[in-house]
Amino acid sequence: MRALVILSLLTASALAAPPARVSYNHDVRPILASKCFACHGPDEDKRESDLRLDVRAEAVKEAIKPGKPDGSELIKRISSHDKDEVMPPPSSPKPLTSNERELLRRWIAEGAEYEEHWAFQPIRSPLVPRTADPQSPSGHPIDAFIRDELATSGLRPAPREDAPTLIRRLYLDLIGLPPPADLSIPSELTDSSYAALVDQLLADPRFGERWSRHWLDMARYADSNGFLGDGLRPNAYRYRDWVIKAFNNDMPYDEFTIAQIAGDLLDNREPGTEHRELSPGTGFHRNAALNTEAGVDKEEARYQNLVDRVNTIGRVWMGLTIGCAQCHTHKYDPITIRDYYSFYAFFDNTEDRDDSKTKAPLLAEVSKGRRQTYVHLAGDYTRRGPDVMPATLSALPAQAGNTRLELAKWLVSPQNPLTARVAVNHLWSKLFGNGLVRTPDDFGTSGEAPSHPELLDWLATDFMRSGWSRKRLIKRIVMSETYRQNSGEQRAKGVESETGNEASESSGSKLFALRSQLDPLNRLLSRQNRIRLDAEVLRDSALAVSGLLKPTIGGPSFRPPLPEDVFDVGRSSNWQASPGDEIYRRSLYIITLRSVLYPTLTTFDAPDAADACVRRERSNTPLQALTMMNDGVFVEAARALALRVLRVPSSSISSRLADLFQVTLNRRPRPEELERLQAFHDEQKKLITSTGPEALKLLGAQLPLVPPSQAQEAAALVATARVLMNLDEFINRP
Amino acid sequence: MMSPGSMSRRQMLRAASCGFGYLAMSGIAGAASTLEARPPRLRARAQRVIFLNMAGGPAQMDTFDYKPQVGKKPHAGSIAAFKRRGQSGLWVSDLLPNIARHADKLCVLNAMTADTSIHAQSMLQLHTGDRLRPCPSMGAWVAYGLGTENSNLPGFISFNTAKPSEYAAAQLPPVYGGTPIGINGEDMSKATISNIQGDHLPLAVKRLQLDLIQTLNRDHLAPRADDERLEGVIQTLELGFRMQAAAPDLLDLSTESKATLERYAVGKNYPAGTCKASDFGRQCLLARRFCEAGVRFIEITHGSWDQHTDHRRDLTANCATTDAPIAALLDDLDQRGLLEDTLVVWGGEFGRPGLTPGQDKDQTGHQHRAFTFWLAGGGVKAGHVHGSTDETGSNPADGKVHFRDLHASILHLLGLDHENLAVVSGGRRIRLTGLQGGQVVQPIIA
């Protein structure tokens, strides 16, 4: 039976293709890392027999004879039956499987080539490819890279999105709100008017509100400490407001980085005085959850806090899971436990301090009683290992000094291969739904490789050369045809061909089939992606179209009304919703209490602020449907929206319904859509009329505001508004 | 021949989307690029699963894996007192007197083993088979493989779970994902399905609204979206709607007798240190009710068993909180004839090393190399122990069972073949037992 299976596998692979070469990064490194490196790897304290297998120059001295597996000591040892000879030794909990032995043998037979991982190689400055597809020219460098790949795969870019949809996409992406109802939408969008709209939205202060939220996810921002006590942090918002401002002022990303890692060490004294204006940027490090319970070991709590800082910087700036090296040398990436604590050492002499005037939480260097940092064996804060000095990761280009300021400068130095790539990828992911690297918090060897490595490097280089301007980078991306493409699959109906003519239905279907076959995940970007709105954008959209949204920027967080089923004795039992129209502010300002997360947001995948969230999940659950149908804020928004439309003097029901549709979805309804709405509306009105006053409950608290003669019409419009706000089109960014 | 299980799944799909979804779905099923062929059905011994998730790493040596002192030198082992129980003579700790009554129903796996002692990763691996990347949760696989017996309820309900990734559908259609009830670490005494009841609109009116929503979505999406996405949108909306009719009554315990509430210790908590007020009695009673209503996979959670400090105090509290409710659940399942085809699974993401007598230490850490799970009902041997550990309980001696093997066995008992229950997503073949695959633990099957 077994032989049969193997035989059929062999046949299948022989037919398909010759067996692929063994890849060091994909096949070999994971084996060596998990079964050999512990004693023969980067960690010099644990190294046995002076043998290193992680560096080729060392490995080929004795253990490996490239091309000659039978002459290699390594193969002899791993195949040995002598218990004193065999490797890994019998005492090891991790013996090699026969498949792994075979892979190692093949790899040596093929020359034992090592590979450096792409993300640790220097950022290159690739040339923009000449357009390989003369039928779809575009002067934009991004398009050149994307279309070059598409052409190689036999795919074509999708046509440009229509004007109303494109404008809606741009508003939602750049300022996190739908276009205003009174925006006049041209049927034809010229390049210059599109560019003007981009500039206008980038200059809009609501841009900072939207994009700061992306950063706050990574900064694990919250307004409370977490853990059992979950004490309030009444001044945490000062950091949040600083981030909003930084985005609105387009603070260069290198400066933005330094301000957060080591803003306290910058010499920014006002001339002639001793007064130092401290940037709230270092509040970044104060966002982590903090265990302040009585009886908590202070030393352990401190250690956990520092570990969180190190791990967060690793994920956010370098896209590395360096946290793995906290207990042991990293299994996949070249990060030793010694590296980890050398990095940790940059933070070992910091203390928490609050600004004397604003009370903003800050980080500062201690002046007295400085600590000598050491390796914490197995990640145990009580087990002292060798002493270490502050140092950046040994696998990356080194830096000069040993202060936090120098660490920050190292992060944003042009020689650092990670920071610019990671930043560019993160911004890209917010405009396409996925990064060029689909594991934005893992650029290491167990993450995914970039779909367009050259484009990634070109963007990273361009980003650094243009002074790390995020607004400029965003503009570059949204000006590309790749961004402006249609997001639909264009399956059944005709699809516009590149010349602008309506192509036949069959060619549309063919294209669909081709795309879903060649590139089911749309990695090559032969179209835009539809993206389920982020929780905040969804709530804000509902408030915006209904006219309830209160636009104040910044200031202390507010408390929305909590649903009845969310409660916890002692914490939320005395929850009091903020007064007046405070509760209609943007979701960014909803108080984030780690123990009482606002369910309307978490249901739509808002993060819990426990760790840095680099990429949100995008789930689709029945609870979301229930939230859209029944949650207070959406019900109230539908009521207000209905009344808003009712106030517009209108000649007919159908023009009123068309208005309602336009306000909600930013386009005129198609005739068949209007027909369906009209039928539903009429049926509802009949139902309401026959039910009597009971049916007017639909208007809730708005009932007294409606003239009695219009009450039934208002109720029917509320029902219709609820339908529109539940549509997939409303819930998604096109 | 069509087996009953696959029938109900089809019926559900048909009901879910008035025919349309079913057709779209069957279209997908034919396309190998999206879904592989349905697995061949094996003989099913269990129809549903109740998973008692003991989060934080329960101390196996003070509950089920008795490790008395042997030899002269004190060594790590049990600090709780143990007795042999029932006909089978199974060892159960004195801290669990009520579960001990059911010893003859249990199938104890004393040599469970996991890959990591990091809570979040091991918890994820216990749920999805993968400790790093998002993959479908065990409950989602079961709902996907067998469908649900009640189209008004989700196939998978998850009480008090910590993270969405633990009940995610991931690469499976979203409708198979778990529906969460209650927030982890919070008081569960009033936890419900959020927004299950809204304003006072009659359901009939909401039905009209939903019909229009579905029609407009279809109009708008059909030419643009792929079938899979459209299907996801339609099904989750439908399920959300139908849950409004069925779930509120199920969640309402006021129809239960006072005696029942007492047996389950509903509302009784013994919080101490890591042991949170999980109202585990209410969770157990709700598990029985959802089980009777036809939900395939019900997960309930108590935690945390992570007794780093004050081991004895917190262990006692954790045992006291869970003992009576679990015993009452086993009683009821047994008396109602449900235990026969309901598989009950007890365990956490790993275990803990034992304490050494004579040492003035009350702290325990994590131990992933050897720990305990137990199963009951659903076609497993009763009053049976599989696997053992060495004298200090720190390593498996024989009968080692990895999470992958546990997953393979659970699916096997449900009549699903873990080798074939798979989907292809983004060019990767995804299944609960992962690339390495697991082994069905044959010796535990009755």
Which comes out higher in pLDDT, residue B290 or B20?
B290
What percent of chain B is predicted at pLDDT more than 70? 87
Instruction: Give the DSSP letter string of A90-102.
Output: TT-S-PPPHHHHH
Distance CA A518, CA A507 (A): 16
Using CB atoms, which residue from B183, B185, B206 is nearest to A629?
B206
For B234, phi then psi, to 5°, come to -65, -45
Q: For residue A715, what is the nearest residue in chain B, using CA coordinates?
A: B201
DSSP secondary structure code for residue A26 in this structure: I
Give the nearest partner residue to B186 out of A517, A568, A687, using CB atoms: A568
**A572-581, A605-614, B180-189, B403-412: least confidently modelled range:** B180-189
Quote the tokens at residue A355: 């600004």
Rounded Cα distance, B105 and B124, in Å: 28
Chain B hits for A620, Cβ within 8 Å? 174, 232-233, 236
Q: How far apart are the C-alpha atoms of B213 and B241, rounded to whole Å?
A: 12
Q: The CATH number of B4-160+170-444 is which of 3.90.550, 3.40.720, 3.40.220, 3.30.420?
A: 3.40.720
- How many other β-carbons are positioned within 10 Å of the β-carbon of residue A410? 21
In sequence order, what are the beta bridge partners of A363? A352
Average the pLDDT over A531-542 and give the result: 97
Query: How far is residue B332's CA from residue B260's CA, in Å, rounded to a whole number?
Result: 10
From CA B84, how far away is CA B82, in angstroms rounded? 7
Taking alpha carbons only, the member of B435, B374, B370, B432 closest to residue B400 is: B370
Q: B402: which DSSP letter?
A: E
Query: Tokens 């109900």 correspond to what residue?
Result: B8
Q: Decide if A529 contacts A487 (C-beta within 8 A).
A: yes
Q: How far is A542 from chain B (nearest CA, A)?
A: 17
CB A442 within 8 A of CB A395: no
Separation CA B344–CA A449 (nearest Å)? 42
Nearest to B171 by CA among B233, B232, B239, B234: B232
Residue B306 confidence class, pLDDT cut points 50, 70, 90: very high
Closest Cα in chain A, distance from residue B177 (Å): 7
Please tell me if residue B423 touches chain A, with a CB cutoff of 8 Å.
no
Q: Using one digit for the tens of pLDDT, what is the confidence trace for A6-46?
A: 333 333 333 444 567 888 877 898 788 778 887 888 777 67
Residues in chain B within 8 Å Cβ distance of A626: 193-196, 198, 240, 243-244
Cβ–Cβ below 8 Å for A727 and B194: no
Please compute the mean of the pLDDT values over residues B50-57 and round it to a whole number: 96
Q: Does the beta-carbon distance from A625 to B240 stay under 8 Å?
A: yes
pLDDT of the residue at A135: 62
Nearest to B277 by CA among B162, B185, B161, B158: B185
Cβ–Cβ pairs < 8 A, chains A and B:
153
Residue A334 has a pLDDT of 81
Contact partners, residue A272, CB within 8 Å, separation at least 6: none
- Vertex A445 angle, CA B418 and A400, to 5°: 155
Q: Hey, how many other C-beta atoms are within 10 angstroms of the C-beta on A107?
A: 23
* DSSP 8-state secondary structure symbol assigned to residue A232: B
B434 touches chain A (CB under 8 A): no
High-pLDDT (> 90) share of chain B, % = 57
Burial status of residue A58 (CB atoms within 10 A of its CB: 0-12, 13-18, 19 or more): middle
**Adjacent-strand bridge partners of B90:** B85
Q: What is the pLDDT of residue A231?
A: 86
Listed by number, the residues of chain A in 608-637 with a beta carbon closer than 8 Å to a beta carbon of chain B are 617, 619-627, 629-631, 635
Quote the CA–CA distance of B405 and B113 in Å, as a whole number: 10
Question: Within 13 Å, how many C-alpha atoms sit on residue A137's CB side?
Answer: 3
What DSSP designation does A270 have? P
pLDDT at position A228? 64
What residue segments make up the domains of chain A, in order of their start? 22-113, 252-411, 632-733
Q: Say how far apart CA A100 and CA A85 lie, in whole Å.
A: 18
3-state secondary structure of B347: strand
pLDDT beyond 50 at A505:
no
Q: How far off is chain B from A690, nearest CA to CA, in Å? A: 13
Q: If pLDDT is split at 50, 70 and 90, which confidence band does B136 have? A: very high
C-alpha to C-alpha distance for A433 and A734, rounded to whole angstroms = 11
Type and span of the H or E element at B38 = none
Contact B223 A726 (CB under 8 A): no
**With contact defined as beta carbons under 8 Å apart, do A420 and A464 qualify?**
yes
Spans of all domains in chain B: 4-160+170-444
CA–CA distance, A556 with A408 (Å, rounded to integer): 29
pLDDT at A33: 78
**Does residue A447 contact residue A437 with C-beta atoms inside 8 Å?**
yes
Per-residue pLDDT tens digits for A261-300 = 999 998 766 666 666 677 899 999 999 988 776 667 788 8
pLDDT number for residue A4: 42
Residues of B in contact with A487 (CB under 8 A): 224
Amino acid at A272: G
| Residue of B132, B164, B198 lying closest to A635 (CB–CB) | B198
- A597 and B183 within 8 Å at the Cβ level: the answer is yes
Beta bridge partners of A685: none
Confidence (pTM): 0.81
Digit-coded pLDDT (tens) for A298-318? 888 899 899 999 999 999 999
pLDDT surpassing 80 at residue A523: yes
Q: Are A361 and A305 in contact (CB under 8 A)?
A: no
Beta B179-181 vs B156-159: how paired, if at all?
parallel
Interface predicted TM-score (ipTM) = 0.81
Q: What is the mean pLDDT of residues B176-182?
A: 87
CA–CA dist A701, A689 (Å, integer) = 19
Per-range mean pLDDT, top range of A35-49, A172-186, A519-533, B315-329: B315-329
User: Cβ–Cβ of B194/A563 closer than 8 Å?
Assistant: yes
DSSP A591-631: --BTTB--HHHHTTT---SSS--SS------HHHHHHHHH-
Cβ atoms < 10 Å from Cβ of A193: 12
- Which residues does B256 contact at the CB level (< 8 Å), separation at least 6? B266, B285
For B70-202, where are the alpha helices, taking DSSP H only?
97-101, 119-128, 138-146
Tokens of A527: 């179209």
| Distance between CA atoms of residues B314 and A624, nearest Å | 37
